[in-house]
């Protein structure tokens, strides 16, 4: 019996009887349990706040004390470590920068697996190597827990507005409950297949995003130097065959659009260093599978060079400024 979205929203917490019927949890989940959330960065902080807005109680952890304080001001309680989170709940979401961070949070000395309860639902929304997600899923299974990789697409604005797309890898039987929970933070939740396939979908998507952002930046730069007004050029592109998300939703040229990083000195958003990381994950997978991705390779080289400058901490659309200065 699948858990309905309405029931999840009304419950305010994950109810014990519901979870036990789906996951056959032990008696440790016989009471209503708050949700654990580890990783409160630009994306995770907004995602956690959306769960609070939906009526859930949260136990949060992050190495950044300011991020924890911000969530506590929104009504969450805090834990001293990921293991402490796992001791207090049987449903945990993680949102971390890289594979090594995920390994540390799950398998480290103070990691989730040190105290995870039998039957715990684990959802990792980090973007990492598919192989690491498969490894975490196997370790979770050995602990009696259920692990899903659920990376996201949409950026900080979508995280704030609960409009993320989740690409989920994991067992089909438990996916309905995962979907209902993630739907509180996003507009689309797609089951991609077994563990690791969510990550596979994400790195393919972000490789394409990196390529399209470079292409949009090149076209906007060229048009401006040819004497075109950038807003006019963007309006033409966005009603023509060159239209893409990088041009019509996240245009990299300053002043073309309001509310995007390019009009805020490229602050906020999705960091250039993170795009470099995701492009690296895609190229690593392509190399392992002997798959030719020449544009993806070139995009990685460009972002790698750019991130050796002071632009690494800016939004990835700063590639427009980088190309302009070359």
Return the structure tokens found at 27: 């008696």
Active-site residue flag, 202: yes
Q: Which residues pair with 121 in a beta bridge?
A: 91, 146
Q: How many helices (H) and strands (E) does the chain have?
A: 15, 9
Helix (H, G, I), strand (E, B) or coil at 21: helix
Q: Which residue is catalytic, options 143, 202, 277, 321?
A: 202
Return the structure tokens found at 64: 């950044």
Helix (H, G, I), strand (E, B) or coil at 205: helix
Nearest to 124 by CA among 162, 154, 150: 150
Return the structure tokens found at 293: 């991705």
CA 25 to chain CA centroid, Å, is 27
Please give the Cα distance from 126 to 101 (Å, whole number): 9
Instruction: State whether the Cα torsion 320-274-192-207 is positive or negative.
Output: positive
The CA-atom distances, in angstroms, between 168 and each of 42, 165, 175, 183, 210 are 21, 10, 8, 12, 21
Instruction: List active site positions.
Output: 202
């Amino acid at each position: 019996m699948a858990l309905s979205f309405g029931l999840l929203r009304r419950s305010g917490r994950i109810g014990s009887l519901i979870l036990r019927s789906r996951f056959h949890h032990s008696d440790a989940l016989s009471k209503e349990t708050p949700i654990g959330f580890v990783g409160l960065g630009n994306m995770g902080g907004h995602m956690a706040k959306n769960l609070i807005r939906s009526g859930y109680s949260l136990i949060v952890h992050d190495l950044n004390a300011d991020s924890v304080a911000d969530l506590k001001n929104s009504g969450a309680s805090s834990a001293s470590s990921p293991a402490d989170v796992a001791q207090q709940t049987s449903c945990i979401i993680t949102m971390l920068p890289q594979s090594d961070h995920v390994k540390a949070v799950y398998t480290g000395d103070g990691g989730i697996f040190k105290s995870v309860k039998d039957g715990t639902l684990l959802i990792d929304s980090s973007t990492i190597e598919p192989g690491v997600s498969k490894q975490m899923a196997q370790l979770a299974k050995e602990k009696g827990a259920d692990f899903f990789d659920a990376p996201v697409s949409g950026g900080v604005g979508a995280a704030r507005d609960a409009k993320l797309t989740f690409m989920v890898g994991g067992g089909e039987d438990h996916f309905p409950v995962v979907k209902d929970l993630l739907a509180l933070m996003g507009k689309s939740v797609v089951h991609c297949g077994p563990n690791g396939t969510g990550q596979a979908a994400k790195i393919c998507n972000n490789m394409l995003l990196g390529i399209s952002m470079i292409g949009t930046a090149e076209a906007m730069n060229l048009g401006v130097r040819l004497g075109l007004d950038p807003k006019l050029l963007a309006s033409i592109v966005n009603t023509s065959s060159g239209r893409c998300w990088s041009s019509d939703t996240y245009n990299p040229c300053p002043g073309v659009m309001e509310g995007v990083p390019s009009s805020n000195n490229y602050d906020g958003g999705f960091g250039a260093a993170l795009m470099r990381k995701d492009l690296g994950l895609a190229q690593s997978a392509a190399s392992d599978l002997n798959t030719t991705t020449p544009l993806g390779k070139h995009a990685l080289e460009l972002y790698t060079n750019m991130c050796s400058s002071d632009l690494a901490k800016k939004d990835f659309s700063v590639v427009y400024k980088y190309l302009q200065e070359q």
